[in-house]
Every structure is written in structure tokens, then in C-alpha cells.
Amino acid sequence: MKVLIPSALRSYTEAAQADADGATLGAVLVDLDRLYPGIRFRMIDEQNRIRAHIRFFINGTQVRDFALPLSPTDELVIVQALSGG
């Protein structure tokens, strides 16, 4: 599956796009962490919740369910909100 990586996480992937496998959103995130150790922790906290500044979009629709079934042809876009004053 094609995964678009936000600029703040590209220090892990060294690219704007990565490929990951998995039948669910949770499995894709685990595979990303296998390929790029530490990246999942930047998106998911210790209680296995999506961090407040992270959004996941599958084929343009925001998702939050780790058990959501995915297809290898789907596209996952990871968006990291910017904050500041």
C-alpha cells in the first residue's frame, strides 16, 4: 500500500512516500514501524491511541479505527497538524 509521509516524519523514511503491507490500518502502522523503527510511536501513544496532532486518511476519508480493513490498492495519507502562535 502506498503511504504518504508528512515532512515531520520523513527523518524516518527519508522520502515523502513509503510502501507498507497490512490488512488493517493497525497492521499497516506496525509494518511501517518494522521498516522505519520508531515511526509508529510518533503517531500512536502509550495507550494505543492516535496522537492529537495526527490524522489518517484512506483514499481521502479520515479514519480512526485500527481494525479498518484495507486493500493493497488503498492509499494512506498521514497528516500531522501544525500548531503554534
CA 38 to chain centre: 12
CB half-sphere exposure, 32, CA atoms < 13 A: 31
What pLDDT shows up at residue 84?
58
pLDDT tens, the chain, 85 aa long: 999 999 999 999 999 999 999 999 999 999 999 999 999 999 999 999 999 999 999 999 999 999 999 999 999 999 998 765 5
CA 51 to chain centre: 11
Alpha-carbon dihedral sign for residues 26, 32, 37, 42:
negative
CATH class of the domain at 2-80: alpha beta
**Number of Cβ within a 10 Å radius of residue 25:** 21
